[in-house]
Amino acid sequence: MYEAHGTRARAHLHVSAAIRSAAETDLLERPIADLVHDRAGIPLTLRPFQIRTLRIRRAA
């Protein structure tokens, strides 16, 4: 995901399945940091023009 308007942005990414884990990754999909989440979504903050790659794993 990315911020396209050149401003700081806050968002809550909603996911239809329950989340087991969520992590931010680099462009080669190597984990950078675990993300705080609840079972339905992930709160995010984006800097101007920031690109973020996320890996989300569903709960079984």
pLDDT tens digits in sequence order for the chain, 60 residues long: 999 999 999 999 998 888 999 999 998 999 999 999 987 789 999 999 999 999 999 987
Give the residue carrying structure tokens 């920031």: 50
Residue 60 is predicted with a pLDDT of 79
Q: How much is the pTM? A: 0.78
Residue labelled with tokens 């329950």: 18
| Mean residue pLDDT across the chain | 92
| Phi (first) and psi of residue 49, to 5 degrees | 60, 20
